[in-house]
Structure 1
């Protein structure tokens, strides 16, 4: 996995763990934590250019795109017909396409094709922080173990080991999650 696939820098995690940044276990923990965050927020987070997606019409003025922040929309096609920005549609960085001129998107599946760019060029600090925190736990905590005793010393792992995430993780996921309204 390339460094750009991580949502935090291996060197930053290495400082916390006291191991080299190229340690395979460190990199695997960072990859797993990054993957978990992306899965939780339901988009890649990092910058993607020229992504082509097909979305469903809603029968409403706006449709959500599957990733944000949106940084550019280069093409929108409705049932194959090219639409003009500012005349037929507008878009927001929050990830919405809005139909203009009193029009609405048709209430049909897979009728809108969008070519757009989205994501963060630099991963926000709060995301990197929770990914590092999760990677630290993945690196150091033995799965399923809450307490470990060796000789006269005992270590009890905190609530993160028992439930898998911290309150900071949950807050960051809520802040960056997209399309949360479609969950049952």
Structure 2
């Protein structure tokens, strides 16, 4: 499924339930959304995505998502620019002005570009499956559960944390735009 960053079959095998299990589908979708929110970009391949950027008076600006696979067009104040002559770009998302700087004006750059992963990296898939597994096993809203003579109390928020692997993957794929408070 396009909304999921990992294979439902792999999660189903680890949980011992069918991949069509509604709770499994919900957990994998929710974990994928959490990862996308944490890294602040779609992760999956997006073609022909429009962008509108502010100029900054410098040689480089950053496109909104990475990795960048292609930049189809760039317009500066409505005038088409030529790749290799007026600008260049990098997979990391830098859009560099050649022989000049970008003007220091709001919304002066517009264009279209392709970004993301056609095949989701394995480390992303792994942490999304781990998070989905944890979400699947927790009953939302349950504070106390008694089985036999044992009673366990937990809160959903405390029970569904993140692993060190999750944090490392988010750090690796998060867009570093200098926009954090």
Give the match for residue 34 of structure 2: 36
Moved over 6 A (4+): none
SS at match of 1:182: coil
For 2:127, which of 119, 127, 130 is the aligned residue? 130
Structure 1: 5+ residue runs without aligned partners? none
Does 2:137 match 1:140?
yes
Match for residue 172 of structure 2 among 167, 172, 175: 175
TM-score norm. by structure 2 comes to 0.92
SS at match of 2:123: helix
1:144 deviates by 5.8
C-alpha deviations, 1:119-145, integer Å up to 9, x for none? Answer: 001000000001001111111112365
Unaligned runs of 5+ in 2: none
Give the corresponding residue for 1:71.
Answer: 69
Q: Does structure 2 retain, via aligned residues, the 8 Å contact 1:48–1:118?
A: yes
1:33 Cα shift?
0.5
Report if the CA contact (8 A) 1:146-1:161 is conserved: no
Query: What displacement does 1:180 show?
Result: 4.4
8 Å CA contact 2:134–2:160 kept in 1: the answer is: no
Size of the alignment, in residue pairs?
181
Q: CA deviation at 1:37?
A: 0.5
CA shift in 2, pair 1:118/1:125, >3 Å: same
For 1:12-161, what aligned pairs fall within 5 Å after superposition? 12-101=10-99, 103-143=100-140, 148-153=145-150, 161=158
| SS of aligned partner of 1:75 | strand
Query: C-alpha separation between the residues in 1 aligned to 2:27 and 2:168?
Result: 21
Cα deviation digits, residues 46-104 of structure 1 (max 9, x gap)? 00111111011111110001111000011000111000000000000001100001x11
Instruction: Give the secondary structure class of the aligned counterpart of 1:58.
Output: coil
* C-alpha contact 1:70 1:116 (8 A) present in aligned 2: yes
